[in-house]
Amino acid sequence: MTFRGHIHNGQVVLDEPVPLAEGVEVRVSPLRGSDGAAAAPVDGLQQTGQLSVERNFHHLVDEWKAATALTSSGTELLLHPAYQRIIGMGKDAVRLIVAEMRREPDHWFWALKAITGEDPVAAGDRGKIDRMTASWLKWAEQRGY
C-alpha cells in the first residue's frame, strides 16, 4: 500500500486522506531529489525490503534450528512454525534456502518442494540427506540460483 504526499513546512502532508489508524508506523521515501531529478528510492526500497527478507529468513532459520536440534521427528521438523513461516515467504525464500543449503545441508527439501511445486529427488533417495541435498543443489544450479 503506497500513498503519495509532499513535504510542507518540514512535515509529510499526504495528498489524499488515508485509512490508517493513529500510531501506525509508516516508511517515507522521496520520489525526487531537491533538484527535481528522479532519485533511486524504488531501488532503495527494494534493497531495504530484500535486507528485511534476509534478516527475517535467517532469524527464522536460527529459531527453527535451535527449537528442533534434539528432535528426530520429521513431523516436528517440517511443521515447526518457523519452518512453516519460511515456506510462507514463498519464492523470495528459494534463493536464501539454496544458499543456506550450500552453507550447511539440512532438511530444506520439504520447504523447496512446497514453494516451487517441484521435486528433483529420486524416490530411492528419500531420507538420504546428502543425496537429497545434491539433487536440490543441482536443480538450483540449473535454474540459476
Interface with other proteins by CB under 8 A: which residues? 65-66, 68-75, 78, 104-107, 109-110, 123, 126-130
Nearest distance from residue 86's CB to other proteins, in Å? 16
Nearest distance from residue 114's CB to other proteins, in Å? 10
Nearest distance from residue 143's CB to other proteins, in Å? 21
Cell of 21: 489508524
* DSSP, residue by residue, 47-59: HHHHHHHHHHHHH
